[in-house]
Amino acid sequence: LVNFDKIPAGQNACIAVMSYSGYDIEDAVILNKASIDRGFARCMVLRKNQTSIRRYANGAMDRTCGAPDPSGFPGGESDKRFLKYRAIDKDGICRVGEPLESGSYMVNKESPMDTSTGMSGDFGIQSAGMARQMQYKPSGMSYRGGAPVHVDKVLITSNENEQFLIKVMLRQVRRPEVGDKFASRHGQKGVCGLIVPQADMPFNEFGISPDLIMNPHGFPSRMTVGKLLELLVGKAGVYEGRQAYGSAFGEEHGSADTAEAASEALIRNGLNYTGKDVMYSGTSGEPLNAYIFQGPVFYQKLKHMVLDKAHARARGPRAVLTRQPTEGRSRDGGLRLGEMERDCLIAYGASNLIMERLMHSSDAFSANVCMTCGLLQYENWCQYCRSGEKVADIRLPYACKLLFQELQSMNVLPRLRLRDV
């Protein structure tokens, strides 16, 4: 109906509905390594990066430069700092087809350090002498991904104000790996839980191993009967040598392929009318104790790939306001111990671990507290009591101290009652 078969987002996978190895629980799927080696679910990821060449109010302008001279680096052409410029052409923009690694420059750009003072001559024209006096700082655009990529396209556009926009399209070929997300056309999504060599995959009497194994526990509660019908009708279509019509709109006219017609086609081709096969264990060679529902189903590869999401950090940047680790993979953020995780630790009684995660490794802060009034002091002086005698040093999360001060700004006075432990 929507010509989705012209540019599809997936492939017809031979799937087996069975439980295998325990790595397929919670909707996870198991992939055949030989199928991946032959190109199953291989995809191309395209990402756009852009930067602008600006003209500033004082007439100064950004400029692009070619790659620097390798003789200026201690290691010459093999120097790590010079290798970042190896994709740069004479115009300061990367060449199409060049490979890029993390840190490599796509555009070698410099920006003027002074953009406010008037330096243009009559009619806003910048003189050659002024241009020579202008100091520039590097402001190039570099690739910040993990895996290597290739430059696919480069586009340069401009407007009437002499503002240039440089767009670079990066291309990366990816093969499926553990953690990538797949889905059929019935909302049955799941991540890859294991990649198994074909020798260990179950096979039928014809020696056919499935490309993908799906856990049957995804069917009863979700009631996605359309997927079962797609497998049955698709299997009949494979053996009949024709394309099956599975739309619900053709049923009243009699043009849709029904389960009964598909079962009859399977019987004509010497197969079980339910679409189930006898399968043999790939590890022991013995027949399995149950008939396995096996056949072709269209599976799509989704954009959620583990390469874009894998993240870890030890120490790193912190937010200015709360002094807690920043959030998100792009900002090299920390991994949040949420409310539910905290409740599990409380129920378990792991008090030292709670202190370590929620304070010492997050935003521990040393503060002075007045033991008379219970308010925070500054440099051993209590502004409320006008005294600096009874002082206690405590450690608390900086976010807690910030909350107290924000409450004080709204005329709510939180007091700390201290006692010796």
- The C-alpha atoms of residue 96 and residue 135 are separated, in whole angstroms, by 31
What phi-psi label fits residue 223: left (phi over 0), alpha (psi between -120 and 50 degrees) or beta?
left
81, 85, 90, 91 alpha-carbon torsion, rounded to 10°: -110
Q: 75 to each of 68, 69, 72, 100, how far by Cα in Å?
A: 13, 12, 9, 20
Angle at 29 between CA 24 and CA 30, to 5 degrees: 85
By the 8 A CB rule, do 375 and 369 touch?
yes
Alpha carbon 343 to chain centroid, angstroms: 28
Q: How many CB atoms lie within 10 A of CB 382?
A: 22
Q: Which string of DSSP letters, residue by residue, matches 129-181?
A: HHHHH--EEE--EE---SS-EEEEEEEEEE-TT--EEEEEEEEEEE---TT-E
By the 8 A CB rule, do 125 and 55 touch?
no
Q: Which amino acid is at 358?
A: L
Q: Which string of DSSP letters, residue by residue, matches 43-54?
A: EEEEEEEEEEE-
- The C-alpha atoms of residue 235 and residue 216 are separated, in whole angstroms, by 18
By the 8 A CB rule, do 128 and 154 touch?
no
Q: Which amino acid is at 69?
A: D
Q: Is 27 a catalytic residue?
A: yes
At a CB cut-off of 8 Å and minimum separation 6, what does 12 contact? 234, 296, 297, 298, 299
Q: Which string of DSSP letters, residue by residue, matches 353-384?
A: HHHIIIIITTTEEEEEEETTT--EEBTTBBTT
Among candidate residues 5, 24, 27, 363, the one labeled active-site is: 27
Q: Which residue has the tokens 């503002």?
A: 163
For residue 111, the cross-strand partners are 137
Q: Is 42 helix (H, G, I), strand (E, B) or coil?
A: coil
Active site residues: 27
